């Protein structure tokens, strides 16, 4: 707010030209611009490795490469309400820069030879020609195929046409595509997430991916904005069941608050709180037997899908969290479950704050409070109540 006017970009005494300037202004604010221009476009944003499992269940190490790109074309015109990827993007990244980032990433670790998987993330869609030059798409597909590494890329749904997949599979016949579906519900996609595509578009994309024998990874968002904790639990379980048969892997992302996003503004105005870790435990318990009918764990012949939850910023106030004293144990149990798929990883978890969580869920389900009844979980409860 400047001079009493809500304007975050340009001069404060001028009206914003478009609503976009109000909603997306953080991407254009001085701190964001300064950050964007502080990095070298020839260096990748982040490169790290994690333990993973190959499509056939063999344990391996996965190299994750996060490239600095022009970002997501949906963000250019609108953008999802929680997406903070703009922080890693810049308009002037060239194809040459991308090739340099890729080469530096592959050379980063001496033991790259032993890594069986490479995940390439572009803060958008690798197979989108407006975002990533065709020659670079081809380079990633070809290199991974020739090196014998399982490749995972991220994409929105509209790029996954038959023509595009036909082209891509001629270069690399077997890779995985992770789609940020967020919710299997058109109303939530439109009004809570502002996703810019519908469930029909996801249905079509996975049909095409299946036709070309590509692996499908589905990201679902746990507790999108404008939703209570109680509603999130009910919807979250339903969406997992809706997509399980058509997804090789479901990754549930508990909301974490990234700087400069719509959800950040809601969070700072006390109109949104990230999910409880207890809700994630409950969610796993609710759907576990839909995913693993005989509790035989990840990789078993009768598994419907694989359910993974890695709470980003778990235990922190901007990520999924509990009271502060039990967070570490609960996050660790959820992480263990994501690896093994064994429901007994969650046995024995308890804390006094579980009662508070339970009461919140009951209230959310019983009362007409669209934004939920949740209060701060950290600090002195009495002081929070007294504060205006």
For ligand SF4, which is the closer residue by CB, 156 or 273?
A: 156
Stretch that binds Zn ion, among 57-65, 97-105, 226-234, 326-334 (CB under 5 A): 326-334
CB of residue 77 vs ligand SF4: minimum separation in angstroms?
Answer: 10
Phi then psi for 129, rounded to 5 degrees?
-65, -30
Sort 356 into a burial class: Cβ within 10 Å, 0-12 / 13-18 / 19+: middle
**Given candidates 55, 234, 323, 339, which one binds Zn ion under the rule CB under 5 A?**
323
Say how many residues touch Zn ion, by CB under 5 A: 5
Interface with ligand SF4, residue 74, by CB under 6 A? yes
**Given candidates 49, 76, 85, 102, which one binds ligand SF4 under the rule CB under 6 A?**
85
Which of Zn ion, ligand SF4, none has residue 126 at its interface (CB below 5 to 8 Å by kind)? Answer: none
**Given candidates 119, 156, 217, 306, which one binds ligand SF4 under the rule CB under 6 A?**
156
Would you give the binding string for Zn ion spanning residues 243-282, x where CB under 5 A is met? ----------------------------------------
Interface with ligand SF4, residue 224, by CB under 6 A? no
Say how many residues touch ligand SF4, by CB under 6 A: 11
Considering only residues 95 through 154, tell me which ones interact with ligand SF4, judged by CB under 6 A: 123-124
Interface with Zn ion, residue 132, by CB under 5 A? no
CA distance 244 to 227: 23
Of the CA atoms within 13 Å of residue 319, those in its CB half-sphere come to 15
**Given candidates 79, 314, 319, 341, which one binds ligand SF4 under the rule CB under 6 A?**
79
For ligand SF4, which is the closer residue by CB, 236 or 341?
A: 236
CB of residue 97 vs ligand SF4: minimum separation in angstroms?
Answer: 19
Interface with Zn ion, residue 353, by CB under 5 A? yes
Which of Zn ion, ligand SF4, none has residue 326 at its interface (CB below 5 to 8 Å by kind)? Answer: Zn ion
Which of Zn ion, ligand SF4, none has residue 247 at its interface (CB below 5 to 8 Å by kind)? Answer: none
Length of the chain: 388
CA distance 163 to 160: 8
Which of ligand SF4, Zn ion, none has residue 371 at its interface (CB below 5 to 8 Å by kind)? Answer: none
Q: How are beta strands 46-53 and 59-66 bridged, if at all? A: antiparallel
Interface with ligand SF4, residue 217, by CB under 6 A? no
Which of ligand SF4, Zn ion, none has residue 179 at its interface (CB below 5 to 8 Å by kind)? Answer: none
**Given candidates 151, 220, 221, 326, which one binds Zn ion under the rule CB under 5 A?**
326
**Given candidates 180, 254, 260, 374, which one binds ligand SF4 under the rule CB under 6 A?**
180
Instruction: Judge whether 59 and 231 are in contact, CB under 8 Å.
Output: no
Which of ligand SF4, Zn ion, none has residue 83 at its interface (CB below 5 to 8 Å by kind)? Answer: ligand SF4
Interface with Zn ion, residue 351, by CB under 5 A? yes
CA distances, 162 to each of 93, 167, 194, 199 (Å): 28, 9, 26, 18
Contacts of 118 by beta carbon, 8 Å cutoff, 6+ apart: 62, 63, 64, 65, 144, 149, 150, 151, 152
Instruction: List contacts with Zn ion (CB under 5 A).
Output: 322-323, 326, 351, 353
Q: What residues line the site for ligand SF4 (CB under 6 A)?
A: 72, 74-75, 79-80, 83, 85, 123-124, 156, 180
């Amino acid at each position: 707010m400047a001079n009493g006017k809500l304007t975050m970009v340009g001069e404060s005494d001028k009206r914003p030209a478009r609503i976009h300037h109000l909603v997306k202004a953080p991407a254009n604010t001085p701190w964001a611009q300064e950050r964007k221009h502080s990095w070298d476009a020839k260096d990748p944003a982040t490169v790290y490795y994690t333990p993973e499992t190959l499509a056939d269940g063999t344990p391996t190490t996965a190299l994750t490469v996060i490239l600095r790109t022009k970002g997501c074309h949906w963000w250019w015109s609108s953008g999802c309400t929680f997406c903070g990827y703009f922080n890693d993007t810049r308009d002037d990244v060239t194809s040459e820069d991308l090739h340099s980032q890729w080469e530096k990433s592959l050379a980063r670790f001496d033991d790259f030879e032993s890594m069986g998987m490479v995940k390439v993330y572009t803060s958008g869609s690798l197979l989108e020609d407006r975002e990533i030059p065709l020659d670079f798409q081809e380079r990633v597909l070809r290199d991974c195929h020739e090196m014998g590494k399982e490749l995972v890329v991220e994409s929105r749904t509209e790029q996954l046409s038959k023509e595009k997949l036909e082209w891509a599979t001629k270069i690399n016949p077997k890779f995985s595509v992770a789609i940020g579906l967020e919710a299997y519900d058109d109303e939530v996609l439109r009004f809570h997430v502002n996703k810019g595509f519908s469930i029909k578009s996801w249905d079509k994309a996975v049909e095409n991916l299946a036709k070309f024998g590509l692996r499908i990874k589905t990201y679902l968002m746990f507790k999108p904005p404008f939703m209570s904790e109680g509603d999130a639990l009910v919807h979250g379980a339903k969406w997992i069941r809706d997509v399980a048969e058509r997804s090789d892997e479901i990754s549930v992302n508990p909301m974490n608050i990234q700087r400069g996003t719509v959800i950040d503004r809601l969070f700072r105005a006390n109109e949104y709180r990230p999910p409880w870790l207890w809700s994630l435990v409950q969610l796993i318990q609710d759907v576990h037997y839909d995913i693993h009918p005989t509790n035989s764990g990840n990789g078993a012949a009768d598994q419907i899908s694989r359910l993974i939850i890695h709470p980003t910023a778990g235990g922190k106030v901007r990520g999924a969290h509990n009271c502060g004293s039990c967070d570490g144990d609960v996050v660790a149990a959820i992480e263990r479950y994501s690896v093994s798929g064994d429901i007994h990883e969650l046995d024995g978890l308890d804390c006094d704050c579980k009662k508070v969580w339970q009461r919140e869920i009951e209230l959310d389900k019983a009362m007409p409070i669209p934004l939920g009844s949740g209060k701060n979980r950290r600090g002195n409860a009495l002081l929070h109540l007294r504060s205006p």
